[in-house]
Structure 1
Amino acid sequence: MWNPHVMILTASYGDGHLQVSNALKQRLAQYGIKNVQIVDLMKEAHPLLNSISTKLYLKSTVTSQYGLDYYGWSYYVTRDTRTDGSIGKYFNYLGKRKLKALIEQTRPDVIISTFPFGAAADIGRELGIPACVVITDYALHMRWTHPDTDRYYVATEELKTELLLKRAATAERVKVTGIPIRPAFLEASASGCRYLPGWNPSKRLVLISAGSYGVLHHIEELADRLRHQDHCDVAIVCGRNQKMENKLKQLFAGNEGVHVFGYVEHIHELMALSTCIVTKAGGITLSEALALKLPVFIYKPFAGQEKENAKYFAEMGMAHVAANIHELEEQLHRFLSDSAVAYGMKSRMAAVHKGDAADLIVKDVLSMVSLEREKLASV
């Protein structure tokens, strides 16, 4: 039985790209495709540059709070860069030599990129291997585009329209699938949550993803005000920020209305239990909230793709974006005081959600690869 070899290209700028890659690998395995290779191309091809750039990317979330937003500046400067321009050619060249050697060595049947690597489409064209791109945000940056890309998988109809208007792709090459997330988010149920035993389900739970921000200013003030809201509890997830976790646990010790956690393995359970979430505007986080129909509140999104993601969700009525802590408090107060607001946001999220994105993508990829194999066999 033929078992295609799938190469998935990713990068370690945040966890999102790798999460998408793993979600695709999981779904491929369910279809019996075991020969799946995930390659962190920048790490493989340019380890020193990768180390420096990933550290700069992470530091930008802190420096932007003090007016030094070099990542946001670079995002907007290069946003409309064409592949045939000097900047576009430079980005397409990154990792090309290493990638070509890997491809010639392993001979994959298809290449799927979850990070914008133009080199994949270049080499795919040269060697006759289909090259696909999974855009992991709700806004278009032209670095994702290349004239030789065989298929784009995008989150929304609006993103497809933008690709067509900018003549970056033809309609048959763009599929609206949503962004792949872990299957657990598609199956999550509040009844299965193991983190708040004995919690009164008549209370509403506001989930704050504090670790998303590194340090969320005024978080103590926000949590304190929310816990005084009628029938409202607060869950704060600090991620791997041990210092923040210790501080908040000490601050809210003995307070039954505030639950503080560090890293939560089964975050989908906590999200399924929540009434809304205060979080950053990463493409994967928003996709997880979308799958759970969980209304989103975004506090001071970072410039670049997160700001553009936040803008899309706000325009679609699925999120509220706050520029300061007082605005965030007012938004949450209105939301918690009027059930119609929550109903409207959930309804709009249900209309936008496309279903199991990983499954839609894998089915299309396997169909495309099978068709290519049949064409070669008939020659």
Structure 2
Amino acid sequence: MNRKPRIMILTAGYGEGHVQASKALKQQFAAHGIGDVSIVDLMKEAHPLLNTISMKLYIKSAQTSKYGLDYYGWSYYMTRDTKPEGSLSKYFNLLGKKKLKQLIDGMRPDALINTFPFGSAPEIGQETGIPTFTVVTDYALHARWIHPDNDKYYVATEELKDELLAKGFAAGQVLVSGIPIRQAFAHASAGAGKSLQHFNPGKPTVLILAGSYGVLSHIEHMVHTLRKHEGSRLVVVCGRNRKLETRLSEQFAGAGDIHIFGFVEQIHELMAASSCVVTKAGGLTLTEALTMRLPIFIYKPLAGQEKENAIYFERKGMAQISSTTGELEQQIGQFLANPSLPQRMKASMASVHKGNAADTIVQDVLRTVASTLPATV
């Protein structure tokens, strides 16, 4: 019989999405009895100083974009269509390559899985005979994800598959799996959130995900504006941004229908108890809402993959985009007053959603790897 495979998942800490997708895959491998799974933040391991600087620039760009200084967005669009054989792509593919070789020599994995576009992984996989899989964690394709030596892509939509096929990949190299998220979102029910403090049935709830870095700008003004809708409640989740949590808690103390939370581990329960969500447009957050059939309102999406994600969701009728708090307030008001609108948005979500993405990916990886494992006595 064959031994159980060793899996290495490569990720990066630019936002929570890539890491959360990696954890969802590890959780699913464990459900299949595969315990030898390592998650490696390759940028942090290989280039700690560059990682620290680029992380600060990433966060700073999110904060300064509201003033028109969005260098991350500029770089995204400038490099979106670069060729894999170009000098810029070759430079990016060198990132982490030396360290990855060292890690592979030590762990001897049977599969490499990218949840961040590391071109070094398929190159080393090609050299060593280790199959390499890439999980695209957004609803838009960027050139950084594309590498001719990658064995298999897992994507969220048929449109992304068509884009990869148009770039020369074979149909068998691309699987429309959806984006992997924690199992808790698939199993959450509307009744789960009712056990949380402050909640009671029958009142529409607008959930606002302010983000760990306060990426939803003018949050106080947003809350003041949205509280105009009598008969509804606002729930604001500040993530790990303790300063924002403290400021909002003080400002809205005593407001019976405004509830402020910090980091919420069981965020799926809050989502299950909500009527809609106001959020940024990260691939994982959108997928969580999609899985929960929770209508989405996207406020001032950041240029780059978040803007492209937002455009896709709006085009499919699953989300609405606003650029001012007044526009957002109008959208929420129409949503709360018109029962047919939530129904249409939820129906659109049902038509797009791919269930059990993590399990689909894990099973496909295991099938591929099984034929390459040496037999054990």
Q: How does 1:256-335 map to 2 (within 5 A)?
A: 256-335=256-335
The code of the aligned residue for 2:94 comes to Y
Report how far residue 196 of structure 1 moved: 3.7
Contact in 2 for aligned 1:212/1:280 (Cα 8 Å):
no
SS, match of residue 149 in structure 2: coil
SS of aligned partner of 1:193: helix
Identify if the C-alpha distance between structure 1 residues 242 and 203 changes in structure 2 by more than 3 Å, giving closer, same or farther.
same
> How big is the shift at 1:365?
0.2
**Which residues of 2 match residues 59-70 of structure 1 at below 5 A?**
59-70=60-71
The verdict on how the C-alpha distance between 1:198 and 1:246 changes in structure 2, with shifts beyond 3 A counting, is: closer
The SS at the match of 2:372 is: helix
Once superposed, which parts of structure 1, at least 4 consecutive aligned residues long, lie more than 6 Å away? Answer: none
What's the CA shift for 1:215?
5.6
User: Secondary structure of the residue that 2:278 maps to in structure 1?
Assistant: strand
Deviation at 1:70, TM superposition (A): 0.5
The code of the aligned residue for 2:40 comes to V
Match in the other structure for 1:45: 46
Matched with 1:21 is 22
- Residue ranges of structure 2 left out of the alignment (5+ in a row): none
1:173-184 paired onto structure 2 within 5 Å: 173-184=173-184
| 1:11 aligns to 2:12 (yes or no) | yes
Q: How does 1:28-177 map to 2 (within 5 A)?
A: 28-167=29-168, 169-177=169-177
C-alpha change, 1:228 and 1:142, in structure 2 (3 Å) is: same
Give distance in 1, aligned partners of 2:27 and 2:49: 30
Assess if the C-alpha contact under 8 Å between 2:21 and 2:115 holds in 1.
yes
Distance between the aligned counterparts of 1:27 and 1:216, measured in 2? 32
Partner of 1:359: 359
Amino acid at match of 1:61: A
Distance 2:91 2:37 in 1: 28
Partner of residue 253, structure 1:
253
The residue type equivalent to 1:178 in the other structure is G
- Between 1:148-157 and 1:325-334, the stretch displaced more is 325-334
- The residue number in structure 2 matching 1:2 is 3
Cα contact 2:193–2:269 (8 A) shared by 1: yes
How far is the alpha carbon of 1:11 from its aligned partner? Answer: 0.7
CA distance in 1, matches of 2:57, 2:199: 41
Contact 1:44/1:98 (<8 A) preserved: yes
SS in 1 for 2:362: helix
Structure 1 position 213, deviation (Å): 5.8
**Following the alignment from structure 2 to structure 1, what is the Cα–Cα distance between the partners of residues 271 and 367?**
34
| Residue 103 to residue 209, structure 1, CA distance change in 2 (3 Å) | same
Amino acid at match of 1:35: D
Q: State the percentage of identical aligned residues.
A: 60
**Structure 1 stretches of 5 or more lacking a match?**
none
TM-score under structure 2 normalisation?
0.96
| 1:120 aligned partner, one-letter code | A
Checking the alignment, whether the CA contact within 8 Å between 2:193 and 2:199 is kept in structure 1 is no
Indicate conservation of the 8 Å contact 1:283/1:309, yes or no.
Answer: yes
Q: Distance in 2 between matches of 1:192 and 1:110?
A: 37
SS, match of residue 138 in structure 1: coil
1:136-161 per-position Cα deviation (integer Å, ceiling 9, x unaligned): 00000011111111100000111101
Q: Cα offset for 1:105?
A: 2.3
* Pairwise CA distance, 1:217: 4.0
Question: In structure 2, the residue corresponding to 1:281 is in which secondary structure?
Answer: coil
Would the aligned equivalents of 1:202 and 1:231 in 2 still touch at CA under 8 Å? Answer: no
- Compared with structure 1, are the counterparts of its residues 122 and 217 closer, same or farther at alpha carbon in structure 2 (3 Å cutoff)? closer
C-alpha offsets along residues 183-204 of structure 1, whole Å, 9 cap, x if unaligned?
A: 1111112322266436331110
Question: Contact 2:216–2:279 (CA<8 Å) still a contact in 1?
Answer: no
Which structure has more relative contact order (CA 8 Å, sep 6+)? It is 2
Deviation at residue 25 of structure 1 after TM alignment: 0.5
Measure how far apart 1:224 and its partner are.
Answer: 3.3
Q: Which amino acid aligns with 1:113?
A: N
The answer (yes or no) to whether the contact 1:226–1:232 under 8 Å persists in 2 is: no
Alpha-carbon separation, structure 1, partners of 2:139 and 2:201: 33
Two-structure CA RMSD over aligned residues (Å): 1.5
The size of the alignment, in residue pairs, is 374
User: In the TM superposition, what is the alpha-carbon distance from 1:362 to its structure 2 partner?
Assistant: 0.1
